A and B are shown apart, each in its own frame.
Chain A
Amino acid sequence: MPSPQLADAVGEHREKHADRVALSCCHRSVTYQQLDDLTRTFADRLRRLPLAPGATVCVPAHKSPETVALLLAVFRQGLVALVPSPDLGAEALARLSRRARASHLLGADEQGSVSAEPVEPDEAEAAGFAVPDPARTRLLLTTSGSTGTPKIVPIPVDGFTAFADWAGHAFHLTGDDVALSYAPLNFDLALLDVWTFLRLGAHVVLVGKEQAADARHLRELVAGRGVSFVQGVPMLHRLLAQDAEATFPAVRQAVFTGEAMPADLLPSVFAAFPEARLHNVFGCTETNDSFIHEVSRTRAGERMPIGRPLPGVRALVVGVDGTPLEGAGGGELLVSTPFQTGGYLERSLNDRVFTEIDGRVYYRTGDLVTRSADGLVHLEGRADWQVKVRGIRTNLQEVEAVIATHPDVAEAVVVALPDDQAGVRLHATVTRRPVAALTGLALRSYAGARLPRHAIPASVHITDQPLPRTSTGKPDRNRIRADRMKETSAA
């Protein structure tokens, strides 16, 4: 699990601790006995559906005990679950289902009834997509992606088992622990804060989408349910810690993940979790977690590293010439983990990002890193022009391309600058055509009509001078970025 053994594990926890809480959400809780009963009921329901052995079914990731039980039933029945975001529109959901050759779209409501809609197969649409192999995977996650249909990532059964073993050991987890599950159920983070905890017989507190920005509710959950493990993006930690009055001494482990933790947030996080060990964890859906860094309360610097590879993980830093660096230096990060997917379902995507080196398959993260002489790794940015503005993946090249279509623009470069609140903000440096009277405000209006709001540059520098160049004649983005940062810090 997501594996057949996971449903068995829940059954065993029911034998030993029937009344222990397995799942809770804002207004109710489900014991291991109830979860096991619900799983068996749903498994019976699945048996009555016309499903081929090992078929794939689509289960949108609603954050509810019933959806978790339905997924356990799918694993138990030897089926494969495609788990997309519940926010996906009907058309995108149908397209994704046809690509994965899912035979039914399933759901389970709070009353415990299962809905099953057959999916019209379309071999033309599924062409080029591998058929999920239930011997190797029971769970297909999807990556967000800023445009188009999400990519389908099979999570290997043995990869999950290895991951859950690692996580249990690394965070000293037992059946007495209580996890706050903040991320959506279709994120790889759920492999830790939902599935690993259920495997251990522990309690998972499910935070629904509706409560995700409600600081008071989140604090009540963490304090009131005895949460001992908190994993989430910096925003979650900000919501929990920004009220200096609240402290959560029951939290033993706090994990920062998803994006860079701002240094200004650390003092309040230290105060909010006085008893916790703190880790920065780096990973993605394709490989699951690959790097970890234990954050020191006394020696946390301005920039938090992603740390060092997890046990069994190999990491390469590849320079611009394409060869892996020995020792210190900077380049693109490639990782090979014991947990990683065997490849996207869409075969044509794999050659670009999975590469075999010395007999191991590595995933190109697209992240630029630096590695110090003692092996500590820091993230420096993206190799593929992706940045996150207010948590939304944004492609700098796409923004540049839109700006460059303005008739008065001769040339434009868009760079990402660090920002305490937004994560990064975009800055555009634009050379206007001779005699053009273009201003930054006119360019913003133009961009605003063609780009989503988060992709409009927050600052615009218009010049009549040509842009600085690198030795190869390309606009020197690093210099533009550095100059801009110097200007704004001097101001």
Chain B
Amino acid sequence: MIKLENVERTYGIGSNAVHALTGVNLQIDQGEYLSIMGSSGSGKSTLMNIIGCLDRPTAGDYYFEGHEVGKLHDDARAQLRGKVFGFVFQSYNLLPRLTALEQVELPLMYQKIPNRKRRAAEALIQVGLKSRLHHHPNELSGGEQQRVAIARSLVVNPRIVVADEPTGALDTRTGTEVMELLSSLVEKESITVTIVTHEQLIADYTKRIIRMSDGKIIEDSHRITSEIVDRS
């Protein structure tokens, strides 16, 4: 589904240039559950931005479903994001003035999808917020806010959900709840879920762990085999 070939991302020019990604090759298949790990500055967030079409590679190719999307202009990428991608951020990134229901309606509004209210309510019920539809972010706990964000990412029936440190602002218990919710998406909806984290505990939920350092992938391990090994 996703294929990165020799992707580079450089910020700035000349001697001040920062090479955030230096030749990344990566393939992600439909329904995969993976995490991208690395210390800060390793390039993991940059990689996530490129996978999520929030950013463009400076060099190299990005194929989504066989189409080169790395060189699309801003609006085309916005459209692609709205249709195919769901985003979950560490700081939730909800709009303070909107109710939970309206937050979730937002992507539908930009996609001009009808029955916004019903679809948004369904997505919120799916993440267990049936009783919080009309609450504003400041009336919701951190875990609830993150679940609103997850509902917002799910409402467009995305092919892939990209989560950047989704539990970073949560305590362990609610963090666990959020991770279980994300894990269930892969199992029930066969949505591809990519989680960026620096916590091994979080990465342990996923079936594939990609480790990054200095803008390169230094390890790409499929844990299915390792789990089998563990059980035996």
Chain A partners chain B: no
